[in-house]
Amino acid sequence: MKKKEINLLTNQRDFNRVEKFFRRFRRLILIYSLLFVLLILVLGLLIYRQNSQIQAFLEQKKNYLSILGENGGQEAKLIYIGKKLNSYEKFIRNDAEFLPYYNLLIGSLSTGQIPASLSSLTIEKSRNTTFILSFDNSDSLLKSFDFLESDDFLKYFENLSISQFQAQAGEKNSGPPQLSFTGKFHQLTK
């Protein structure tokens, strides 16, 4: 009988050992190949997801840039409004709360029925004040001294003094009689 194959291994035991080694080697190569293919598929999926996220971000960036381009004037207006708001807050911090003190002074002058007009009024943040009362004539000036020295008028001030007195002295261009006051208001309760 004719042999088709030549057995180079001399004995069966060596042959089984080599065949076992190659079987394990084939299985190991197959497992590594499957793991490699699986790794490539997972990496491909991750790259695909990352690219789709990048595309979404680029679209969002385009939208934001177009909105920014359309509303560029709005941004300048918002900056202007922010500066005005800061100026307003600075003004409020330094505000002397003029109106309540003005109303208090005008109200007290009207209750005393003084025939005088308020020519000027300055109130500082520390409640220090200077004001000028103008009178029609010297008689109205003299009549008003009773009220100006009374507790009904002085109760609104911590201190008040006449700083200047200007009266008609027969001069044509001297103007009406005036009293200038300097003092400090009491703190108003809110």
Domain ranges of the chain: 9-94, 98-185
- Average per-residue pLDDT in the chain? 85
**What digits encode the pLDDT tens for the residues 27-38?**
999 999 999 999
Confidence of residue 82 (pLDDT cuts 50, 70, 90): very high
Confidence band of 97 (pLDDT split at 50, 70, 90): confident
Question: Model's pTM, two decimal places?
Answer: 0.51
Angle at 92 between CA 158 and CA 157, to 5 degrees: 10
Instruction: Specify the fold of 98-185.
Output: Gyrase A; domain 2 (3.30.1360)
> Which whole number is the average pLDDT over 98-112?
86
pLDDT tens digits, residue range 156-184? 899 999 888 887 655 555 678 888 999 99
